[in-house]
Structure 1
Amino acid sequence: MSRTRKITQLGLFVALSFVLSTILVFPNMAPAQHMMNVLGAVVLGPWYNALSAFLSGGLRMLVSGRTFIATSGWIGALLAGVVFKKTNNYLLTALTEMIGSGIISAIVYFYPMRYLLNLDIDNPFYYVAFFLPSAMVGAVLGYFAVRALGNWSNKHIN
């Protein structure tokens, strides 16, 4: 695949993720980002998927006043992309997104957020309760979306 096509897909994924995350929103949750991370793992691959998640989170941070934590989805996106590249398994990809964004990102981002927000909390699992439900909902949506798109493309493109 050409570099121009990959960058075009990246731009489309960033834009779609940003728009969907402003439409499909729950308090302190961005399930559309996690859905796009699963789709991006299949379409973009690990590195462009991670960049897409970081950029769309950065846009949400800049436009809607979210904190730095909005950029945390890149970890799950990267891991989901690696898993899909190695296994071609949609279910494992979605589960990896849940774990990567719902647990690993929550722990990794706890430390900078603790100092940026001056939190008086010592529990690195603090954000898991906020990240995991969003990652679970989004990854499930992403799983069904890649299944549906995969079935559709097999019938109509091949």
Structure 2
Amino acid sequence: MNKLTHLDDSGQAHMVDVGDKPDSQRLGVAEAFVRMQPNTLELILQGGHKKGDVLAVARIAGIQAAKRTWELIPLCHPIMLTSVKVDITPIGDDCLRVEARCKNSGQTGVEMEALTAASVAALTIYDMCKAVDRGMSVDNLRLVEKAGGKSGDWRRDDTE
């Protein structure tokens, strides 16, 4: 059975020591889905929202969130990200898929940064559109892929 890395032998939470780990190229990809009324999605895609470009603001929010993950998640390391990309694409007539891709070259992975970016971008969409559609939902936040490091590569095989 695998051991939880953020718990010491006595079960106490601690930050993992990555000082002896070699640098490697790392990738984390996460996604979230924002479900809404079709007219809300149409408003977003046509750029007709009175608050401005919803998708541009959400992308910037996701990028900012990735860079600040270590401040939000107590046991995450502050890391130097080399790339953060947030893509938002419509799925059908009532959903946006938010995908966040984070990269670095370092001693620890970027999965949490990708998950944080996807979640904050999705929440930003909700925040900007809640006045016209309070019934929106943010669904299925999850890691899609990770690469690099001692544990190697992993890819989800049940993507939507």
Using the size of structure 2 for normalisation, the TM-score is 0.33
Larger radius of gyration: 2
Higher RCO structure (Cα 8 Å, ≥6 apart): 2
